[in-house]
Structure 1
Amino acid sequence: MYLKRCIYILCCCLSFIACKEEPLITFKEVNFSDGDSPMVEVNIPMAEGNKTIANAINSSIEKSVIADLQIGEVDTVSFHSIKESINGFNKEFEAFQHDFPDSAYPWEAQIDGDIMYQSENIISIALTSYMNTGGAHGNLTITFFNFNAQTGKIISNSDLFNDKDAFYKLAKAYFQKQVDYKKILFDPEKFVLPSNIGYSEKGITLLYNTYEIAPYSTGVIEFTIPYDEVNSLLVFDGVQ
């Protein structure tokens, strides 16, 4: 009887540990495309698990994709789903072809999402959007999202750090080590943090999109500060 009771308690403990370690959110890759138009393809991670958290994360990702596919002013977005946005993109192209039948430039839109980092406290996701609507070159934009893994809400960059001034100084020093900044920046004397700051497996990654601080020819500027150098400044600890 005593042995059976011990086994029962052990099983309960193991079950509790397993439940505790099971993540609230998992992800699966979802593809959106128009079979009649290979011009548009969207491959993004969609959250599953706790409905409240998953819905919050998915809503933010979907809104970003819809905005990226918008032709014209983002403030005038009227689509409510990714499929509607793809259809809208195609209709804009058809209208363009009608107005400029001699144009030889095909339109193209490709959006891909990747999980940069996931822990029990924070989830970082990157969306890479490439758009070409007939110009001299396409437009590549990368957007980082940091989600609170317990709520699904977006964490602002300022809320990632317990000492914003110290992180600014660390990022500036690291940037100057990694990048020949005096030759590429619009304003070499002024350092600014990028819009994109996110967690990755190796550390905190900072990414400047094209035109954000340097000419188009410079391209994307990206560097990572290792966790052993930045963890003391983080609200959510990263894996070292």
Structure 2
Amino acid sequence: MKFIHLLILFLVFSSCKKESATLTFSEINILKETTTTIEINMPKAIGKGQAAEKINTTLNTFVCNALHIDASMEKKETLEESIQDFNNAYANFNTFISEELKEELPKWEALIDGEVIYNKVDFACIAMNSSINTGAANSSLLLRFFNFDTNTGNLLTTKDLINNVEEFTTLVEKYYNKEVNSTFTDADNLLNDNQFQLPETLGFSEEGVIILYDNFSVGAFEKEIVEFTIPYQVANTYLKI
């Protein structure tokens, strides 16, 4: 009987330990409309431990990098400082343009969004995107997935997530070719231009592994986004998570 009691206590403890690794998230919402328009909607990990702190630091860094426009200025480390940095960059450039062209710049806009798209025990995937318009014909768009070990808050790389990167790349290429062929009329001429590579980051949802190439990562398809999902029943063989 004593052994059974100890076993039950062990199972309860193990269950609680695993549950605690599933972090909860709230949301940060910021809207600043002054000389520029800045809107930020992003997740915030809840908890006093190091894991939540590290996750929030990583997400904040993405936002701060997106708002850092003027390379001559030191990049800031907090959201408020980065918002002011963006406004200062606009003010400085607007002053220069006004003196040279005798007219003011259009209002700059920065729209940054993030969402927790997968959150299980020990693992969370967060999708972040930024759209920065500094007066050009098209906004500068950046989309990234952030995969975290929720026990430690460490950011997981593709090698942490995939057990055979070479074979997984071959699988992704098959899905990619199918998607491009069904989307682009001139796909045959473009698919062979470059050696195929995985995107910089992988996404995870309830349905499967999200593969996304934005207009920076697919040079052949400028200003286009190529996105598809590989179901888990196909991808599970290659996954470490």
Q: Contact 1:186/1:214 (CA < 8 Å) preserved in 2?
A: no
Sort the Cα spacing of 1:15 and 1:231 in 2 relative to 1 into closer, same or farther, 3 A.
closer
**Distance in 2 of aligned mates of 1:205 and 1:184:** 25
**Distance in 2 of aligned mates of 1:14 and 1:91:** 56
Match of 1:44, as an amino acid?
M
Residue 4 of structure 2: aligned partner: none
1:32 CA drift (Å): 2.6
Q: Which TM-score applies when normalising by structure 2? A: 0.83
- Asked if 1:192 corresponds to 2:227, the answer is no
Residue 6 of structure 2: aligned partner: none
1:50 CA drift (Å): 4.8
Q: Contact 2:94/2:105 (CA < 8 Å) preserved in 1?
A: no
Sort the Cα spacing of 1:205 and 1:98 in 2 relative to 1 into closer, same or farther, 3 A.
same
**Distance in 2 of aligned mates of 1:19 and 1:226:** 29
Q: Contact 2:124/2:149 (CA < 8 Å) preserved in 1?
A: yes
Q: Contact 2:131/2:139 (CA < 8 Å) preserved in 1?
A: yes
Q: How many correspondences in the alignment? A: 227
From 40, 52, 56, the counterpart of 1:58: 56
Q: Contact 2:36/2:107 (CA < 8 Å) preserved in 1?
A: no
1:199 CA drift (Å): 0.9
Sort the Cα spacing of 1:119 and 1:213 in 2 relative to 1 into closer, same or farther, 3 A.
same
**Distance in 2 of aligned mates of 1:115 and 1:161:** 21
Residue 122 of structure 1: aligned partner: 123
Q: Which TM-score applies when normalising by structure 1? A: 0.83
Sort the Cα spacing of 1:134 and 1:184 in 2 relative to 1 into closer, same or farther, 3 A.
farther
Sort the Cα spacing of 1:189 and 1:91 in 2 relative to 1 into closer, same or farther, 3 A.
closer
Structure 2: 5+ residue stretches without partners: 1-8
Residue 92 of structure 1: aligned partner: 89
1:162 CA drift (Å): 1.2
1:185 CA drift (Å): 3.8
Match of 1:196, as an amino acid?
T
1:224 CA drift (Å): 0.9
1:25 CA drift (Å): 1.2
Residue 79 of structure 2: aligned partner: 82
- Asked if 1:106 corresponds to 2:107, the answer is yes
Sort the Cα spacing of 1:34 and 1:147 in 2 relative to 1 into closer, same or farther, 3 A.
same
Residue 4 of structure 1: aligned partner: none
Aligned 1:4-83 pairs, distance under 5 A = 21-34=19-32, 36-37=34-35, 39-73=37-71, 77-83=74-80
Structure 1: 5+ residue stretches without partners: 1-11
Which whole-Å deviations, capped at 9, do the CAs of 1:170-226 have from their partners, x for residues lacking one? 111111222227347475352111112121121111111103223465511111100
1:82 CA drift (Å): 0.7
Sort the Cα spacing of 1:24 and 1:50 in 2 relative to 1 into closer, same or farther, 3 A.
farther
- Asked if 1:132 corresponds to 2:114, the answer is no
